[in-house]
Structure 1
Amino acid sequence: MERKKQSVVIAGGGSTYTAGIVMMLIENQDKFPLRTLKFYDNDQKRQEIVAKACEVIVKERAPEIEFIATTDPEEAFTDIDFVMAHIRVGGLSMREKDEKIPLKYGVVGQETCGPGGMAYGMRSIPGVIELIDYMEKYSPNAWMLNYSNPASIVAEATRRMRPNAKIINICDMPVAIKKSIADILGLDSELEIVDRYYGLNHFGWWTEMYDKEGNDLMPRLKEHVQKYGYASAAEEGNPLLEEASWMDTFQKAKDVYAIDPETVPNTYLKYYLYSDYVVSHANPDYTRANEVMDNREKNVFAECKRVADNQSAKDTTIEAGEHAEFIVHLAAALAYNTYERMLLIVKNDGAIANLDDDAMVEVPCIVSKRGYEPLCMGKIPHFQKGMIEQQVAVEKLVVDAYEQKSYQKLWQALTLSKTVPSAKVAKQILDELIEANQEWWPTLS
């Protein structure tokens, strides 16, 4: 049966990831056919760099798709079926501050974990809420697939502030790790893995992995992770590991695994469980934001300009991104009722039996035209439960701080974070973050 063509707007059209999403969408026209593809961004200059190249790509490879790039919300959000949102409020310059300010005080500097993640969350909340409001005003039947970071804080904010919105919060990091696992185990694709996983965004554990024939993959995987972490992906040329920081993160998984060898971990747990290691191996003058600006951003924008200047993408180095594959599968499941099993960030409601129902957790869900149905992961052990409850409280306090414009709540959030050693240090970091974010945060009192 022929599939109905969809209309999609990519919110964050100027992102370095956008061209990869376009390539993935074009390559999957058999699974997720498009009639219209729109870009929306409030940074017109940045979006134009990407849009001019993508216009060439669409014209060459899928000329039947109407392509529009705009900074006008009404034009962008009218007559669309899906919003694919990946915005970065404040851009990479603010990410750099998120990372470098905590490091000055000997605290993890990272875009989604610790104080930097909270600072980013305070900026992201109004940006994502604005996108929801545009969608509901101009295309009320559309779905928003949001992978704007920090996903857990954004998910908690949308749960509270827009509880009836058709939004699904997602992250591609577990998919990227599973791609590495597939390489480790000699599988053709991560889609061959059927898993059980629980936690929060960038904060979770796998308990089971089987192949489609029902063979248990965990014994072989654990043996490898114990020795090497997920690092074999580097030998396969995994694009995620182009920068040194990712190599270290994948290798460090072996030490995270050692704390609980009954499970295998999300790589981001290193920031919470080995924060002293992370800080001691960080360069406070050259962080991940600098890596991105000097590598991915320069390379992607240079290639986009080259494609636009040549008016041809026949030899382009732009490729379909890993995160794009995940979002296309999710959109297709919602549009065509394919009942995919996918990891999503959703309201707990009993999925983790011994965790509060209103926690925003990351668990496997079945996705269909009806939306998503979380699978029950049962009760979890004390170690993971304690860590998750602490981090959930941090995320809720951040949203409290945003809603109430409360200095006290945000100080409490930083103090409670496992990455911060004391209330004194938390206050020092907070005061400097407030100064840096005057343009973006509400005034706290």
Structure 2
Amino acid sequence: MIITIVGGGSTFTPGIVKSIALREKDLEATEVRLFDIDEERQNKVAVVVDYILKELNSNIKLTVTTDKETAYKDASFIFAQMRVGKYAMREMDEKIPLKHGCVGQETCGCGGLAYGLRTIFPMMEVIDDVEKYAAKDHWILNYSNPAAVVSEACRVLRPNARIINICDMPIAILEMIGKCLGDVDYLKMDYKYFGLNHFGWFTEITYEGRDIIKEVREYLNEVGTLMPRQYVEAMKKNPFKEGERHASQSWIKVWNNMKTMMDLFPDYLPNTYLQYYLLSKDVVEHSDAEWTRANEVMMSREKNLFEGVDHYLKTGEITKDAFYHGAHGNFIADLAVSIKNDLKQKFIVIEPNNGNIPNIDDDVMVELPALMGKNGAEVIKIDAIPTFHKGLMEQQVASEKLLVEGAIEGSYAKVLQSFAMNKTVPSALIAKDILDDMIEANKEFWPELK
């Protein structure tokens, strides 16, 4: 059982490998391969990965490569987590829209669309290479962002690919809820959820007969944020501490905005990313166009990992800040376990609608709970959704579909329509200004637009 991690130089790689190693028997994992085009970066990350495997007394073989055939040969699972352009381009994705008074975020708004244009064709290359070299019954489990755009491109360009597009944010929300309520194990929660990637709602969350959404409303009214009290205090003292992925300085406002969104629309619990669409003016006003989340990550998680590697190589000591382990790594590893062993466990995944939401078009890539087994996703159908949520989803889908069409056709007009259609952009003239700046910034990565 070979598992290949595409984007082996990611700061998330050590945590993912730890999650794999902790499930070594369930996965029957014999080898983990790290594959990246940035050899120097990946080799540094591999130092931490090697340490983790030894610390856990794992029998898993570690292979580190920049060669496609070596990476994919006979692999059963491919965990994809590419970041095309790395954090330097994420910084542009965030800062260019903010310069024009619009949301600057790596997966939402114009930043997400820009990131999508960089990722579409590299993702198709991964699919083709995996198809050429990997085991015939392989599965690609794709974390590569922006997942909504990537999954739509896969649907259009590689409809027969053995790929499951996923996102851990809904599970991370459940994990944060569990920490806020204190006595709730998020892994034992049951839930109903619908939407698009980074654009969805929990309609029901229960735990041992308890209505968790009701308890969240009460907690928000009391505390004012969906973060545990101790996290907020810790962030005030050390804003660059990255011990918890979703508990750093830039996330405080995100979790505060959960209360605002639930005050406005109390029926469902929103995905945190909906703040960028529903509260875009407020988000921009509270953003610093000179210091965005990209800068924060580079000065915390990135800095911690690579300084930790240097420290380990000099002293033989490794710090816990050198890697992240939690819902992100556990989610993808647990999904692989469910698929491999045909467990039919429930996960939230991104799949073609095909009637699963009856009043949404079949060709929309929706995010819904599904039972995951050896043949992939058995999506759990739901009833028709309300007009408000349907309208929001359809506007977002139109923006994403236009972007994919524009990428394939090399059409400036369609990409402009995509930017103008996005709810985070108040004017087509602003959309054009942002797009023109993005074209200049992405010359090395985007297809030519005419």
> Do the aligned partners of residues 196 and 29 (structure 1) sit closer, same or farther apart at CA in structure 2, a change above 3 Å counting?
same
Q: Relative to structure 1, is the Cα distance of residues 316 and 28 closer, same or farther in structure 2, using a 3 angstrom cutoff?
A: farther
**Equivalent residues of 2:120, 2:153 under 8 A apart:** yes
Pairing of 1:72-87 with structure 2 (within 5 A)? 72-87=67-82
Q: Give 3-state SS (helix, strand or coil) of 2:24's partner.
A: coil
- Output one character per residue of 1:319-341: Cα deviation in whole Å (capped at 9) or x when no partner: 52320000011000110011110
Q: Which of 345, 366, 370 is the matching residue for 1:365?
A: 370
Return the TM-score normalized by structure 1: 0.95
Q: Specify the code of the residue in structure 2 equivalent to 1:222.
A: R
Given that residues 57 and 313 in structure 1 are in contact (C-alpha distance below 8 angstroms), is that contact kept between their aligned partners in structure 2?
no
CA distance in structure 2 between the aligned counterparts of 1:181 and 1:103, rounded to whole angstroms: 30
SS at match of 1:419: coil
Q: Give the direction of change, closer, same or farther, for the CA distance of 1:153–1:426 in structure 2 (3 Å limit).
A: same
Deviation at 1:353, TM superposition (A): 1.2
Q: 1:398 to 1:227 in 2, by over 3 A?
A: farther
Equivalent residue in structure 1 for 2:219, among 207, 220, 224: 224
Q: 1:326 corresponds to which letter in structure 2?
A: F
> Which digits, 9 at most, give the CA deviation of each residue in 1:394-434, with x for residues without a partner?
11011001100000001001101110011100001101100
* 1:390 shift after superposition: 0.3
Change (3 A) 1:235 1:255: same
Deviations 1:229-265 (A, max 9, x none): 6533352577134421111101111111122211111
**Bigger Cα displacement from structure 2, 321-330 vs 231-240:** 231-240
Corresponding residue of 2:7: 12
Deviations 1:267-306 (A, max 9, x none): 1111001111111111111111100111110001222333
Q: 1:343 aligns with which of 339, 342, 348?
A: 348
Counterpart of 2:244? 239
- 1:164 pairs, out of 160, 164, 177, with 160
Shift of 1:60: 3.9
Counterpart of 2:196 (choices 193, 196, 200) is 200
Match of 1:290 in 2: 295
**For residues 227 and 124 of structure 1, do their structure 2 counterparts lie closer, same or farther at Cα, with a shift above 3 Å needed?**
farther
Q: Distance in 2 between matches of 1:99 and 1:153?
A: 17
Deviations 1:330-365 (A, max 9, x none): 000110011110100111111111101110111100
CA distance in 2, matches of 1:410, 1:17: 31
**What SS class does the counterpart of residue 211 from structure 2 fall into?**
coil
May I ask how many residue pairs the two structures share in their alignment?
439
Aligned counterparts of 1:319 and 1:296: Cα–Cα separation in 2: 8
2:184 and 2:70 map into 1 onto residues whose CA distance is 41
Query: What's the % identity of the aligned pairs?
Result: 44
User: Out of 143, 147, 154, which is 2:143 matched to?
Assistant: 147
The aligned counterpart of 2:46 is 51
| Aligned residue runs from structure 1 range 69-148, under 5 A | 69-139=64-134, 140-148=136-144
1:49-103: CA deviation from partner (whole Å, max 9, x where unpaired) = 1012212332342342111000000000002110001110001000001111111
Structure 1 SS opposite 2:355:
coil
Match of 2:271 in 1: 266
Counterpart of 1:378, as a letter, is D
2:442 to 433, 437, 441: 437
1:31 counterpart (21, 26, 39): 26
Other structure's SS at 1:62 match: coil
Distance 2:317 2:30 in 1: 22
CA distance in 1, matches of 2:279, 2:103: 10
What secondary structure is seen at the aligned counterpart in 2 of 1:239?
coil
Amino acid at match of 1:208: E
What's the CA shift string for 1:165-206, capped at 9, x where partnerless? 110000011111100111233344211111000001111111
Distance in 1 between the 2:68 and 2:118 partners?
A: 19
Gaps of 5+ in 2: 235-242
Partner of 1:401: 406
Specify whether residues 412 and 229 from structure 1 end up closer, same or farther in structure 2 by C-alpha distance, changes over 3 A only.
farther
- The 3-state SS of whatever aligns with 2:350 is strand
Are the equivalent residues in 2 in contact too, given 1:208–1:218 (CA < 8 A)?
A: yes
Check conservation: 1:207, 1:262, Cα contact below 8 A: yes
Counterparts of 2:110 and 2:179 in 1: how far apart (Å)?
Answer: 34
Match of 2:325 among 316, 320, 325: 320
Distance in 2 (CA, whole Å) between partners of 1:119 and 1:315 is: 34
Which blocks of at least 5 consecutive residues in structure 1 are unaligned? 1-5
SS of residue matched to 1:128: helix
1:379 aligns with: 384
Cα separation, 2, equivalents of 1:87 and 1:281: 29
* Residue 314 of structure 1, CA deviation: 9.1
Aligned-pair CA distance for 1:441: 0.5
Query: When the two structures are superposed, what TM-score results if normalisation uses the length of structure 2?
Result: 0.94
Q: 2:238 aligns to what?
A: none
1:302 equivalent in structure 2:
307
